[in-house]
Structure formats: structure tokens, C-alpha cells
Amino acid sequence: MTKKIHNSSNFEFCYLRHQYLRKVDINPDSSELIPFYPIINKISGKNYSTYRKLFYSVGIEYDDVVAVGKAHLISFLGLFQIEKDPKKFDAFVEKFVEKNSYIPAETDILDKNKAIFTIFLKQRMEDLVRICRQKVRNVRGVPIETTHSYFGPIVPKARPEEIHAKYESLGLKKLDPAVFRAIKKKVKPQNDLYFFYNGNWYITIPTNNRALEHVDLLVADQDPRDQTHNKNPEELIIMSESNKSWEWKNRKFKKTPSNEKISMLRSFLELNQGSKIFDNEIETAKKKLEWLENG
């Protein structure tokens, strides 16, 4: 069974993404690597200058950050350059021809790979910073409250979960854990779970906490797979291009004469009437159309 890699015992393997390196089956020569070196130097320099103190605390110098970037370049060329995925490569060629009316040359393919590698390396540098922080702080997780504290004139005869749910109706008030500990330290009771002091009973009840699951993060809109360093670099470059396309279309729409805007909005509403997919867009289009017609 393969031993799990941890930053406390295999610090370098963590930030080098050892899973990637182990899958690489190529040994590129300098002519394949050199075109990407300016990207490595620029991103590594910016990263090092931003987190100089952090890197110093774990013994990493500027040359080490550059070396990490070069190691990730090997992973990228072996696993993520666009030629590695025939479907994505064919889609790129088709889109390029549609836009430029000629087949992409080697320099065009290299430019595409440089764009993808830039996103990829930024992700890996985020990983490096995150893992260095874990190394420095020795993160083990955030502590959570294991008990809730209450006080009142009587101790209700109810189950713990009932007290948690409706303590106010049972004549209790919730107490800050720090205040409860301070009172307990002053009274020094024989029983740590409940005691009487100054006309009130003070009780502490264990909670039924559980470890966070992936669904909890989804509900809180904090899906870890949505973080930049966990996304596929190809997805990020597509997202970036999509955002740029949207910004361009938005600028173009703003410059369009009002009568053409009204025509476009009416066509959109007629085409998507009753559609539940574009609920928000339809509502926005109606408001915009009303504003244009009344303005």
C-alpha cells in the first residue's frame, strides 16, 4: 500500500504535485523548455516578492521557486499541453480556422500552450504558498465547540437535543463558553457538567458535532473544486476567454443605437418566451426593454 504524502514528512512532494510527476513519460529537451522560461521567471519573481517572508520561514529562496516552476513545466508538457488531448486539439484547430481562416502554425500552437501553462503555473504557485503556510503554522484544522453552556433558575428535565433546540422556552439563557469557564474556575464545583451559583444553575451539554462533508461546503457555496488551484487549466483558460467575449459583447451592446437594442431584446424575449433556463435573463431583458421604450 502506498504511503500517504503529508507536508510534515514529504514537504517537497506536496508542492511539486508528485502525482503529476509520476505520470509523466517524456524527457523534453531544452528547445521545448526554453520558450516557457520567461513565463516561469515572471510568475516566480512576482510570487517570491509577494511572499518573501513566508518562503524565508521555510527555507525557500528565489532560485528554489524558479526550480519549482521548471519542475511543473515538465508536468505540463507531459500531461496538459493541448496536443495531449486529440479532442481539445481538434476543437482548438477548428475554432482557430473559423476565426483566422488559416490552419494554425507551430507558433500558434505554442502560443496556445503558453496561455494554458500561464494559468497552470499560477495554480501551482498558489499550491506552493498554501502548503508553505501549512508548514509554518502546522495546521491541524479549526477547533469547534464541543459543548453549549446555559444558565437558569431550574434544571429542566429534557433531553440534550431538546435543550439545544428550545432552551429559551425551558427558562434557560445561553452563556458564552468563556464566561462559563470563568464562573466554573471561580466556583470550583465538584461536577463540571452542572453546578449552582448565585441563584442560578449552570449547565454544559455536549453537542452532536460531526466532521464537515463535501455537501456542507456545496450548500455554503464553498465548493473546494471551484478554487482556482483545483481547476483544470484548460477549463480556466476557456473561462477566461468566455469572460473576455462577454465583456466585448457587452461593450458592443452599449454602443448599439436604441432602436437596434429594442429589436434585439424583443427577439430574445420572443425566442425564449416561457423558458425556465433564462428566468433571470428574461426578467432583466423586460426591465431593459421597458426602460428603453419609455426613455
| Tens-digit pLDDT profile for residues 128-138 | 888 787 777 65
How crowded is residue 13: how many other Cβ atoms within 10 Å of its Cβ?
Answer: 16
* 150 and 205 Cβ atoms separated by less than 8 Å: yes
Predicted local confidence at residue 9, as pLDDT: 47
Report percent pLDDT > 70 for the chain: 77
Predicted local confidence at residue 141, as pLDDT: 42
Report percent pLDDT > 90 for the chain: 7
- Please tell me the pTM assigned to this model: 0.46
Higher pLDDT, 95 or 215: 95
According to DSSP, the residues that pair with 203 across neighbouring strands are: 150, 194
Report long-range pairs for 36-44 (Cβ below 8 Å, ≥24 apart).
36/73, 36/114, 36/117, 37/70, 39/114, 39/117, 39/118, 39/121, 40/66, 40/69, 40/70, 40/73, 40/121, 41/66, 43/69, 43/118, 43/121, 43/122, 43/125, 44/68, 44/69, 44/125
Reported as a single tens digit per residue, the pLDDT across 276-292 is 777 777 888 888 888 88
Reported as a single tens digit per residue, the pLDDT across 99-121 is 888 899 989 999 999 999 998 88
Q: How confident is the model at residue 37 (pLDDT cuts 50, 70, 90)?
A: very high
Predicted local confidence at residue 144, as pLDDT: 47
Question: Looking at residues 221-247, what average pLDDT do you find?
Answer: 63
Predicted local confidence at residue 35, as pLDDT: 92
Higher pLDDT, 10 or 175: 175
**Average pLDDT value over all residues in the chain:** 78
Predicted local confidence at residue 24, as pLDDT: 73
Question: Looking at residues 210-229, what average pLDDT do you find?
Answer: 53
Strand order in the sheet with 147-152: 173-175, 147-152, 200-206, 194-197
Task: Tell me how far apart the alpha carbons of residues 252 and 226 are, in angstroms, rounded to a whole number.
Answer: 30
Predicted local confidence at residue 5, as pLDDT: 45
CA 217 to chain centre: 11
